[in-house]
Structure 1
């Protein structure tokens, strides 16, 4: 029974990460940190590539459970929820605001030991906020870089897609920084999401570009995950403060989310804010916390 509860919890965690990763404004890393499995996630990714055989097996078991939920969630987002975000962006933005605002106190309580008395590290909190706000501000509703048709690959375009994959996955792993927002900035969000959707419908013209993007993602994981793991192990207080800053900064990114659509809309305001969606976001985080406690109980 406990094993079944773990599978269900990992599936839900992966599903929630995919929802965040597939739309601009929220990071899958944010979800992992809010739901308190970020350390396990980072350690498993690092062990999968750098650990011994036993560590690799344990990491693979964890990531497969999480990955099933992520794949299901991402495919659903790529085929259905992306259009929902276009049509109901204010409701979805309000939902994510509720999710994060009510989850941050939970994170602070969990990390109380490393935060208490280390108030000089508030500088890292400020830097985290500034980093996300600056990155989010770079995209003002239009891509800074225009990318041509990715079905017609050239060597420069292939290199560009590869490097963008490396950068985007680092953002998706870090709490607060949206990889989708970076893809928007680099002009690849719509081509990549379109490519995934078309490939699902058996149009394989986008597949070479998606493979190159995927290789960039893998290289990004190998390079960046080790750095994050070392930071959490050796400088946890500073790192947690920075992560909390990035999570707070993501509130700004969510508010500005409507401006990043293909057809930009005004940012979220008091007039477009949905209190119902906000409350649902709160209910979701408390529900997931309850499920987590249920899973941990004997």
Structure 2
């Protein structure tokens, strides 16, 4: 960690923006991006250092000590990036989801496929435990991706819970926070609330998210400290399983309409039997860009 200069913080803001952009897409996890860009464990430790004991420290030693303890500059830079992204890139990503879904999903498919390598190669020892964890992770994530989305739900306690669950998924590589919200049926409610600046909903979800973040980071930190290889294998498994969700070519099985909300239940299909233009050449190109982007990110991260 040590002393960072302005440029380092600009990079952290950019990493935050990448996390935010990934989290807007149901199926891609900001945690995956944090992992690839080399800030995952620092993020977990920093979140983990936030607790009620800080109030005592504040009274005794002042704000500066508290800020240092929670790695404040790092968190501020990262969350600034995430918020910039959620409010700006969200529009772009939504547009791409509507207009160029195959290319967007192909890009993310390449990105996520490459991240399987990166998280996986952190595993130092392969044994029955790590292999079991990897397979279980993949099966759990795969199972989650096959669940049918729920109807739109907008009770505040439920939205609080959504915020807590989504943020846990957001920190987990492989399982996307946005996708959990889609499953819970609160994705549209929350997205609309952000667009329409519905403060009550945004705050409820936000408080839920903070609650989820603080409790979940403790668990993850403990797992990293005590069972690092198994935890990494489980996370790699999550990423492998999540590839099912972001396969670019889908066949729509049924379309349900709840009020104004259309829920599409689809299944993966081969680009050759895809109805409509499969855009195979551009899709492969987009996937390769996503795939190589990870290697470029990794190179710049390891140079630092």
User: Same fold by TM (over 0.5)?
Assistant: yes
Shift, 1:112, TM fit: 4.2
Q: Give the direction of change, closer, same or farther, for the CA distance of 1:14–1:257 in structure 2 (3 Å limit).
A: farther
Q: Could you tell me whether the CA contact under 8 Å between 2:129 and 2:230 is conserved in 1? A: no
Aligned CA RMSD, in angstroms, stands at: 2.5
Shift, 1:78, TM fit: 2.8
Q: Give the direction of change, closer, same or farther, for the CA distance of 1:175–1:290 in structure 2 (3 Å limit).
A: same
- 2:71 is matched with 59
Deviations 1:235-278 (A, max 9, x none): 11111110010011121121279669946366464343501111
Q: Could you tell me whether the CA contact under 8 Å between 1:14 and 1:69 is conserved in 2? A: yes
Q: Give the direction of change, closer, same or farther, for the CA distance of 1:146–1:103 in structure 2 (3 Å limit).
A: closer
Q: Could you tell me whether the CA contact under 8 Å between 1:22 and 1:74 is conserved in 2? A: yes
Question: 3-state SS of the aligned residue for 1:254?
Answer: coil
Q: Give the direction of change, closer, same or farther, for the CA distance of 1:41–1:88 in structure 2 (3 Å limit).
A: same
Q: Find 2:100's aligned residue among 51, 70, 88.
A: 88
- 2:151 is matched with 145
Matched, 1:17 2:16: no
- 1:35 is matched with 37
Q: Find 2:218's aligned residue among 219, 226, 229.
A: 226
Q: Could you tell me whether the CA contact under 8 Å between 1:48 and 1:55 is conserved in 2? A: no
Alignment of 1:114-129 (within 5 A): 116-129=125-138
Return the alpha-carbon distance in structure 2 between the equivalents of residues 288 and 83 of structure 1: 25
Q: Between Structure 1 and Structure 2, which shows a larger proportion of strand residues?
A: 2
Q: Find 2:232's aligned residue among 240, 259, 263.
A: 240
Shift, 1:210, TM fit: 1.4
- Structure 2 unpaired stretches of 5+: 58-64, 256-260, 273-277
Deviations 1:181-230 (A, max 9, x none): 1111111111111111122xxxxxx2111111111111111211101110
- Structure 1 unpaired stretches of 5+: 151-156, 200-205
Return the alpha-carbon distance in structure 2 between the equivalents of residues 100 and 64 of structure 1: 26
Return the alpha-carbon distance in structure 1 between the equivalents of residues 140 and 263 of structure 2: 26
- 1:291 is matched with 300
Q: Find 1:214's aligned residue among 202, 206, 210.
A: 206
Return the alpha-carbon distance in structure 2 between the equivalents of residues 256 and 262 of structure 1: 19
Q: Give the direction of change, closer, same or farther, for the CA distance of 1:13–1:257 in structure 2 (3 Å limit).
A: farther
Deviations 1:34-62 (A, max 9, x none): 22211011111111336755464252111
Structure possessing the higher radius of gyration over alpha carbons: 2
Q: Could you tell me whether the CA contact under 8 Å between 1:24 and 1:257 is conserved in 2? A: no
TM-score (norm 1): 0.84
- 2:62 is matched with none
Return the alpha-carbon distance in structure 2 between the equivalents of residues 50 and 171 of structure 1: 24
Q: Between Structure 1 and Structure 2, which shows a larger proportion of helix residues?
A: 1
Q: Could you tell me whether the CA contact under 8 Å between 2:38 and 2:301 is conserved in 1? A: no
Alignment of 1:253-264 (within 5 A): 253-255=245-247, 262=262, 264=264
